[in-house]
Homo-oligomer: A and B are copies of this chain.
């Protein structure tokens, strides 16, 4: 049974997992740890966690959820594995998987770790951003499942399936390569769209009255946390640079079509890309 759950990092993802697990497993106790005491207090007041805990308590854990920025995960994961008992499972939820898996590949308790990436979130962060049902119908990428003790992974995956996640299995290198296209590039695209517009219009606040729902949707991810995203881009640097090269190339080609008055070409670029409709419908 998974009764004692320790969430390290009671922010958007850790807190949302805590809320859903509590709803599905009313007998479980959710303990919270965070490097910011005020986050922990907020999480307790909001009922996101049941109790505050400290690192030394981790040997009581059935499940430890590490939901902190990926650079901190690489540093802390070994220490967390050292701290849990042979019956405790540690999972991380980071948006990169290669460096994290590598950090513990020779750890004597490697079998107590499950590397995963639930693809869910919002542009907000911190314990107040935690919401119920965030993981309903969302994909959870599991990496190197074969390296995790079978009984531990089974209990955890049953729990995550109960929260509505569908599991997909992938090696860490493939995960990092593809998530660069499917997620990391979207964030940079939105951040640079926001930057471009702010630079141009910063002295003309009235202009922001012209922002419609299209701009808002496209720029939404530019509200995301730099503290969370900087280490993701650092760990996945090579893949992210490749996506940016492809993206810049496509934008430059589109610009060249405009410059050459090739509006049939412009039309066809958009028509071909409308295919994204079918793809997005397919995933829903």
Contact = CB atoms under 8 A, between A and B. Distances in A.
B208 A181 contact: no
B181 A200 contact: yes
Contacts of A213: 120-122
Interface residues of A, number: 94
Per assembly, the copies of the chain total: 2
B216 A280 contact: yes
A220 interface: yes
Contacts of A219: 186, 276, 280
Contact of A198 (B189, B251, B271, B279): B279
A168 B210 CA distance: 9
Contact of A241 (B194, B198, B259): B259
Contact of A191 (B179, B192, B273): B273
Contact of A210 (B182, B201, B254): B182
DSSP class of A's interface residues: helix, strand, loop or mixed? helix
Contacts of A275: 194, 198
B211 A240 contact: no
A181 to B, nearest CB: 5
Nearest to A279: B208
A105 interface: no
A257 to B, nearest CB: 9
A122 B213 CA distance: 8
A251 B244 contact: yes
A123 to B, nearest CB: 8
Query: Which of A216, A245, A279 gathers most chain B CB within 10 Å?
Result: A279
Interface in A114-169: 119-123, 138-139, 141, 166, 168
A262 to B, nearest CB: 10
A162 B208 CA distance: 22
A248 B241 contact: no
A210 B183 contact: yes
A261 B186 CA distance: 20
B279 A196 contact: no
Interface stretch (A17-25, A48-56, A83-91, A221-229): A221-229
A189 B247 CA distance: 9
A141 to B, nearest CB: 7
Pairs of residues from A and B, 8 with the lowest C-beta to C-beta distance, nearest first: A226-B270, A186-B218, A119-B212, A194-B276, A182-B210, A194-B273, A230-B267, A192-B250
9 contacts: A120-B212, A122-B213, A191-B254, A208-B279, A211-B283, A214-B221, A216-B280, A218-B218, A234-B266
